[in-house]
Amino acid sequence: MSIVLYDLAGADPDLRFSPYCWRTRFALAHKALPVETVAWRFTDRDAIAFSGQGKVPVIRDGDTTVFDSWTIAEYLEDQAPTPTLFGGPTGRAHARFINAWADSVLVGGIARFIVHDLVDAIHPKDHDYFRSSREARFGESLEAVQAGRDQRLAAFRDLLLPIRLVLRRQQWLGGAAPSYADHIVAGTLMWPRCVSRFTLLEADDPVSAWLERVLDLYGGLGRRAKQV
Amino acid sequence: MSIVLYDLAGADPDLRFSPYCWRTRFALAHKALPVETVAWRFTDRDAIAFSGQGKVPVIRDGDTTVFDSWTIAEYLEDQAPTPTLFGGPTGRAHARFINAWADSVLVGGIARFIVHDLVDAIHPKDHDYFRSSREARFGESLEAVQAGRDQRLAAFRDLLLPIRLVLRRQQWLGGAAPSYADHIVAGTLMWPRCVSRFTLLEADDPVSAWLERVLDLYGGLGRRAKQV
């Protein structure tokens, strides 16, 4: 029986762009677990009320409901230990740092480049919720948040230096093989890739070359993903 | 036979403050390996010429010479697998990200708070080398680099957010037990602790509480360390 994933979608139901849902998509594919995705919009609270909260990713695995991308990754690793996402308890603990870094530095950094592009991608019924919640978070209009992004690009790229240093020495963030660390960072980068035409990474950045490798994993799951 | 560690020292030979040598000290203590340290100054190039390069940490283990803190940690893990520093290949690969983050974000961030304090701590014979090499790196005088540090403190503390997020969920960066990830970050924080009276961390920061726990490890190795 397939695992059901409630997956953030745009106006186009095939446009899937959540940085957290992509972490889960990659983790499920890594485990070769069959998945059936359900297109979900920000305001579809009732559809996931069974999970006791209001955000995706949420998965249903038979009678079990799990939400939050990190918790889902731990659940999948515990249910189906191989192929491993974490490589043991220490690898899991260290991956939590990479997850925390991606959540704070990477998601926060990318948001200011694409948050207004997101308005054009999301379902019209989500517009009011999205704009009011995000403008409250940033304390200014979405137009103002995204303004001047060309001038901020070099500083954003500097934030990726730790990834670049790692990729000088190993092919994947997981070492000789992809791990959940790759899913965390690549899943986060699927977000701008899918909803914005803005170029965040330079073509000759080693991070770009690594992302291309991730896009080819799991039968090209990331590469086939719809983009605006 | 003890491993010999060439360890950066100040004018006071008991003042040991290198963020990289501290990573090695903690890793050796984690492995319960006996160590004999040799006080080394920046300009003592001849003393470590046998290593083929000019920086510490350098260790001699019988006939084997290893330099660079990351390479030393890998060597120790391969020679004496338990107690583990990395918890396997994936844990090692993920620790490399934490090492890269500490080298770029943390060392770079801390340097601007303490680089002028370092002048008072290092051996007089190192003064010319230290000032000229660091001023070339920063492109301004050490006084200018360190100026206005009170105003930059909040931004520095924000950089520690990923650590804070991890420590909400686990006691150590290594999870239920300390790993080399703890040594990387705590070793880096030993640097300002030993050479400067400037308070980088707030007392009620969870990072402070965790650092206190690290200071108590290995018989209080970190806590006993000489401070200016």
Q: Which tens digits make up the pLDDT trace of A19-38?
A: 999 999 999 999 999 999 99
Please judge whether A88 and B87 are an interchain contact, meaning their C-beta atoms are less than 8 angstroms apart.
yes
Range list of H helices, A59-205: 69-79, 89-101, 107-121, 127-138, 142-146, 149-159, 161-167, 180-195
Please judge whether A163 and B92 are an interchain contact, meaning their C-beta atoms are less than 8 angstroms apart.
no
Is pTM beyond 0.95 here? yes
Q: Does B83 touch chain A (CB under 8 A)?
A: no
Report chain B residues whose CB lies below 8 A from the CB of A170. 93, 96
Nearest of B206, B216, B191 to residue B157 by alpha carbon: B206
Q: Does A169 touch chain B (CB under 8 A)?
A: yes
Q: Does A105 touch chain B (CB under 8 A)?
A: yes
Mean pLDDT confidence for B202-219: 98
Give the model confidence (pLDDT) of B167-180 as tens digits: 999 999 999 999 99
Q: Which of A97, A104, A161 minimises the CB distance to B98?
A: A97
Nearest chain B alpha carbon to A106: B162
Asked whether the predicted pLDDT for residue A1 surpasses 90, the reply is no
Q: In this structure, what token pair is assigned to residue B141? A: 């005088």
Give me the phi and psi of B68, to 5 degrees please.
85, 125
Mean pLDDT confidence for A153-173: 98
Q: What is the 3-state secondary structure (H, E, C) of chain B?
A: CCEEEEEEECCCCCCECCHHHHHHHHHHHHCCCCEEEEEECCCCCHHHHHHCCCCCCEEEECCEEEECHHHHHHHHHHHCCCCCCCCCHHHHHHHHHHHHHHHHHHHHHHHHHHHHHHHHHCCHHHHHHHHHHHHHHHCCCHHHHHCCHHHHHHHHHHHCHHHHHHHCCCCECCECCCCHHHHHHHHHHHHHHHHCCCCCCCCCCHHHHHHHHHHHHHHHHHHHCCCC
Dist. CA B76–CA B71, nearest whole Å = 9
Give the model confidence (pLDDT) of B41-96 as tens digits: 999 999 999 999 999 999 999 999 999 999 999 999 999 999 999 999 999 999 99
Dist. CA B167–CA B201, nearest whole Å = 15
Nearest chain A alpha carbon to B91: A91
Tell me how close the Cα of B89 comes to any Cα of chain A, in angstroms.
7
Asked whether the predicted pLDDT for residue B1 surpasses 90, the reply is no
Asked whether the predicted pLDDT for residue A130 surpasses 90, the reply is yes
Please judge whether A97 and B179 are an interchain contact, meaning their C-beta atoms are less than 8 angstroms apart.
no
Report chain A residues whose CB lies below 8 A from the CB of B163. 97, 100
Give the model confidence (pLDDT) of B126-149 as tens digits: 999 999 999 999 999 999 999 999
Please judge whether B97 and A163 are an interchain contact, meaning their C-beta atoms are less than 8 angstroms apart.
yes
When the pLDDT of each residue in chain B is averaged and rounded to a whole number, the result is 98
ipTM for this prediction = 0.97
Asked whether the predicted pLDDT for residue A17 surpasses 90, the reply is yes
What is the CB neighbour count within 10 angstroms for residue A33?
A: 15
CB A138 within 8 A of CB A145: yes
Report chain A residues whose CB lies below 8 A from the CB of B107. none
Q: Does A82 touch chain B (CB under 8 A)?
A: no
Report chain A residues whose CB lies below 8 A from the CB of B27. none
Q: Does A89 touch chain B (CB under 8 A)?
A: yes
Please judge whether B162 and A100 are an interchain contact, meaning their C-beta atoms are less than 8 angstroms apart.
yes
Report chain A residues whose CB lies below 8 A from the CB of B84. 90
Q: In this structure, what token pair is assigned to residue A121? A: 């991608």
CB B172 within 8 A of CB B186: no
Tell me how close the Cα of A38 comes to any Cα of chain B, in angstroms.
30
Mean pLDDT confidence for B149-160: 97
Mean pLDDT confidence for B94-113: 98
The share of chain A scoring above pLDDT 90, in percent, equals: 100
Tell me how close the Cα of B103 comes to any Cα of chain A, in angstroms.
8
What's residue B215's pLDDT? Answer: 98
Mean pLDDT confidence for A61-84: 97
Q: Does B96 touch chain A (CB under 8 A)?
A: yes
Please judge whether A90 and B93 are an interchain contact, meaning their C-beta atoms are less than 8 angstroms apart.
no
Residue with tokens 């740092």, as numbered in its chain: A97
Give the model confidence (pLDDT) of A183-222 as tens digits: 999 999 999 999 999 999 999 999 999 999 999 999 999 9
